[in-house]
Amino acid sequence: MYHHAIQQFARTLRNLDAVLGKAEAHAKTRNFDVNNFLTARLAPDMLPFVRQVRIACDHAKSAAQALSGKELPKHEDNEATLEDLHGRIAKCLAVLDGLSAADFAATKPDAIVKMPNRPGKGMRADDYLWHRQIPNFYFHVTTAYDLLRAGGVDIGKSDFIGPLDIVDL
Amino acid sequence: MYHHAIQQFARTLRNLDAVLGKAEAHAKTRNFDVNNFLTARLAPDMLPFVRQVRIACDHAKSAAQALSGKELPKHEDNEATLEDLHGRIAKCLAVLDGLSAADFAATKPDAIVKMPNRPGKGMRADDYLWHRQIPNFYFHVTTAYDLLRAGGVDIGKSDFIGPLDIVDL
């Protein structure tokens, strides 16, 4: 199940990457610098777009690290362009896609896992995933989406959700 | 696991209910009608705040219905005040809290479940939860949060996440 959760994070990051592409198309049509989005905020005391994307990536990677028990690479926060953000997502996806179900098999729901960004602190594995990482991850991906939506980019919820396997009953 | 997912939706809706309380406190301090938030949007062609809250509730309830196979009550979309939205969340929570692990025990990950709002359509249970309901639910709760945040309400991510059981290692 933990591998399944990580695969879903990867799926959502791929959707976010496509949403960044729509921001680029919008900026081209309107003839403005797409990198202006990097400092966009919904409120002046809120983290800007560039950090929403970075943090979404890091929450996915932190979940993968804590639930697999493997040390995963740290990615520097140095993106200055939208193109760099594509790169940040690609680096994160390379890490997530490099893990298999076997990497998570030893972690039981009641195990206490180490919180990657809280030295000396831990949580029950299931609580860590459900109470902390899933809500945090979607919080930042949705806020990144909302910033682009507020900025006029032509995106809808289907861009956020991605394609679904729906069948006739 | 499906019951666990539904319990987490309920947990997040309780956090959202507390966030609505902070919007009320903010409106009182600034001396404006808190119900002004109901029509707030991040873009003019986006669903307003009142619908973000309703849809979040409905995604949680739809997941509970599809994954339990039980027919659950439909809630009318008639909220006109923030107080009514507290009521909508409370009704949804009463439904979610009325379900137990046993209600979900018969649904296997590969089962095709009926999509409550797509007559004649279904999805594999696991895909329905992970690919559709979890992202949709958090999309609308986060957008509701973001609308209040953009409107100056004094909330932080800890209000969205709620209390966590963190232990010393």
Sequence-ordered list of residues with C-beta below 8 angstroms from that of A34, at least 6 positions apart, any chain: A23, A24, A26, A27, A28, A82
Model confidence pLDDT, tens digit, residues B74-133: 999 999 999 999 999 999 999 999 999 999 999 999 999 999 989 999 999 999 999 999
| Shortest alpha-carbon distance between residue B83 and chain A (Å) | 25
What is the pLDDT, as a whole number, of residue B16?
98
Residue B115: exposure state from Cβ atoms within 10 A (0-12, 13-18, ≥19):
buried
CB proximity list for B116: less than 8 A, separation 6 or greater: B62, B65, B66
Distance CA B160, CA B148 (A): 12
Length, in residues, of chain B: 169
Contact criterion met (CB < 8 Å) for B161 and A112 = no
Interchain contact, A127 vs B164, CB within 8 Å: yes
Closest partner residue to A157 (CB to CB) among B115, B139, B169 is B139
B60 and B108 Cβ atoms separated by less than 8 Å: no
Residue in A130, A137, A148 to test binding to B, most B beta-carbons within 10 Å: A130
Contact yes or no for B150/A43 (Cβ under 8 A): yes
| pLDDT(B1) > 90 | no
Residue given tokens 């559709």 in the structure block: B132
Subunit contact B8:A134, Cβ cutoff 8 A: yes
Could you tell me the pTM of the whole model?
Answer: 0.97
**Chain A residues with CB inside 8 Å of B42's CB?**
42, 146, 149-150
Q: Which of A27, A6, A37 is nearest to A104 (CA)?
A: A6
Cβ <8 Å between B46 and A167: no
Which residues have a Cβ under 8 Å from the Cβ of A32 and sit 6 or more positions away? Answer: none
d(CA B55, CA B140): 7
Q: Does A157 contact B136 at a Cβ distance shorter than 8 Å? A: yes
Selection from A153, A146, A159 nearest residue B141 by Cα: A146
Q: How far apart are CA A2 and CA B135, in angstroms?
A: 16
**A interface test, pick of B42, B49, B140 with most A CB neighbours within 10 Å:** B42
Distance from CA of A138 to the nearest CA of B (A): 6
Q: Which of A135, A152, A160 is nearest to A60 (CA)?
A: A135
Min CA distance, A76 vs chain B (Å)? 23
Q: Is A142 on the interface with B (CB under 8 A)?
A: yes
ipTM over 0.90: yes
Whether residue A138 lies within 8 A of chain B, CB to CB, comes out as: yes
Q: Are strands A167-168 and A112-114 parallel, antiparallel or unpaired?
A: unpaired
Taking the C-alpha atoms of residue B103 and residue B159, their distance in angstroms, rounded to an integer, is 30
Give the helix ranges, DSSP H, for B31-133.
49-68, 82-97, 101-104, 125-127
A49-108 residues touching B, CB cutoff 8 A: none
Mind listing the pLDDT tens digit of every residue in chain A (169 residues)?
A: 899 999 999 999 999 999 999 999 999 999 999 999 999 999 999 999 999 999 999 999 999 999 999 999 999 999 999 999 999 999 999 999 999 999 999 999 999 999 998 999 999 999 999 999 999 999 999 999 999 999 999 999 999 999 999 999 9
* Mutate: best of A3, A7, A8, A168, partner B, most B CBs <10 A: A8
pLDDT in tens, B12-28: 999 999 999 999 999 99
Residues β-bridged to residue A113: A123
CA dihedral A151, A153, A154, A158 (to 10 degrees): -90
Rounded to a whole number, what is the distance in Å from the CA of A169 to chain B's nearest CA? 5
